[in-house]
Amino acid sequence: MGDTLVQVERRGGTAVVTLDSPHNRNALSTALLEQLHAAVTAVTTDPAVHVMVLTATGPVFCSGADLKEARSGAAAAAHLLPEILTLLLESPRPVVARVNGAARAGGLGLIAACDLAVGLAGATFGFSEVRIGVAPAVIAVTCLRRMDPRAARELFLTGEPFDGVRAREAGLLDRAVAEGALDETVDGLVRLLRLGAPEALAVTKQLLRDVPGAGVAEDFRRMAAVSAERFGSAEAQEGIAALLAKRPAAWVPQAG
């Protein structure tokens, strides 16, 4: 049996997926990617999970590819990282990145694939690929969907390290906080997400990917259909009834 490099903890309707390979700064080795793929697949298909949190142990969130493995010719299977990023992007459950420390290269791709990202203001980040003769190719798919294009151009091309404040300004992070505020901020976002109806959150994630589309008229046509479907759904009937009755909706976690 190999080492467990990815931990999954259930906290009510929240699943916390933790990269747990601090000995190599949570590098994306084949073993870690295989375990992360299995964990994310299980969590994103579990109807009991309403929100997923992605984080890591140690002072580094993720250092990117396992370069020792790559140099030995035993690089991770090429399909694993794209599949994991796709699972995160297309997860019907909201995904929050709890970025506990520094991140480089592929680690930034993981952050960008999440719906919301909270990181440390003093942590360092970097698209270091060009400095070792490669390119941020796979992670460009998630990062360029999230980041300001001008900031991405500069940071991709220079490989210059930057802090959490710059990461927030560039669009990679949503919040850049002091170390003592990391858990409080993430927990606050999770609480807000738990107030949303699960199916409605999934539909909202989909429309965030789909709009804007080919044109305004087509977007209105498709979104009118989505709106009509949601107003006719059982979730909407429960949500409206709860609002009128001034009570929590059925999906809202009970206090205590």
> Which residues are catalytic, by number?
129
- 54 bridge partner residues: 17, 97
CB of 219 closer than 8 Å to CB of 211: yes
CB of 85 closer than 8 Å to CB of 109: yes
